[in-house]
Structure 1
């Protein structure tokens, strides 16, 4: 099953507010970009991902991410996370109304392409989601082919997606469940092993993860 993914991103200086203090203030935007770069590098290395649409608050501020093979578009007038996901899904569906569209967070720096492929396989064409490691948030939401994505991201999104009929995926998928919102989350993904962009920002040896 091939999937087209929507990934939203704030301006790097505004993103990941709860992560502030994990590195010096001047390095924070670079860390936010690195988290996204490692997420996108894993995604675009997956044979099951057809297109990746990055919906950005400021496309110029994240323009360097285009070299990873993603398309970058401006976020819609309604500047909310769910609006960004809907906007991206609508653009993708204009080109292929029957495609499988997914919503993925941009803060998964330990992501392995294998975990992503396992999630797609378990979903098996159903509207489904992957809860974060705490079990309350959502890192990935998949639509059924040609069906609405209906994103409900925000506090308690795992419960909201389940209540809306999406199937919670049960495989371990450790790298896909490990998003980064806090310094504690950052410590967790460092234990898993982060990609080369985040590793460079944190002064760690390069990790070879995208298999």
Structure 2
């Protein structure tokens, strides 16, 4: 069965993101680079017909441009799973014939080919999941058209998603490597990150301008 996919990517306000990267002055800029590199990889998969971004960052609402249909919605609920729930309800109402995938917005080593191969596998299972590199968290969940998704992201979420009926999908190291810590970032860099993250990693942190002031949505 060939499925057209809408991929929902929740993205936290850049200035509030990636606290575990410590005192790096470019932390917000890195959070933005991770998100934009992730979205570009998603948009490059031929199986993806719509990218749905659920975010509380007004700058992203105002200027996101991708080479595929994209809808950006402003997050109104507090918390990751609540934000995903908002997006899922919108996606299910708007594109009932599409499969839905939820992908975290901090996988800067992801390529379109990585995502495409895993979405092909997801076509064969009603509910799928991709655990993170540690095997305890979740990077992505998927559902065939009409299958209700129950997001349970956060620490220990891999077991929760399995208990909700999601089957593990084979995925590359690049897809499984979300970045929360400096160690994660070093590993992602070795795998090969997207252009925006790579550019930041080549520059001294004290030369990187702060994330631009957010505009109103």
Common topology (TM > 0.5):
yes
- Whether the aligned pair in 1 keeps the contact of 2:133 and 2:176 (CA below 8 Å) is yes
1:56-104 alpha-carbon deviations (Å, 9 max, x no partner): 113x22246511253211112x311111111111111212223211110
Q: Write out per-residue CA displacement over residues 174-198 of structure 1, whole angstroms, 9 at most, x where no aligned residue.
A: 1110110100000000000111000
TM-score by length of 2: 0.86
TM-score by length of 1: 0.89
CA 1:79 to 1:134, structure 2 compared with 1: closer, same or farther past 3 Å? Answer: same
Contact 1:130 1:177 survives alignment (8 Å) = yes
5+ residue gaps, structure 1, are: 205-211
Counterpart for residue 87 of structure 2: 88
1:3 aligns with 2:8: no
Q: Is the aligned partner of 1:118 residue 2:117?
A: yes
Distance, in Å, in 2 between the alignment partners of 1:143 and 1:172 is 16
TM-fit CA distance, 1:202:
1.1
> Is contact 1:100-1:125 (8 Å) kept?
no
Greater RCO, 1 or 2 (C-alpha within 8 Å, sep 6+): 2
> Cα gap change, 1:163/1:65 in structure 2, threshold over 3 Å: closer, same or farther?
farther
**Structure 2 counterpart of 1:163:** 163
* C-alpha distance in 1 between matches for 2:63 and 2:194: 14
How many residue pairs get aligned? The number is 198
- Superposition map of 1:66-81 within 5 A: 66-69=64-67, 70-76=70-76, 78-81=77-80
Give the corresponding residue for 1:98.
97
Q: What does residue 62 of structure 1 align with?
A: 60
Aligned to 1:207: none
| Aligned match of 2:14 | 12
Q: Is the 8 A contact 2:61 2:74 kept in 1?
A: no
Query: Structure 1 stretches (4+) deviating beyond 3 angstroms?
Result: none
Output the aligned Cα RMSD: 1.5
In the alignment, which residue of structure 2 is the partner of 1:182? 181
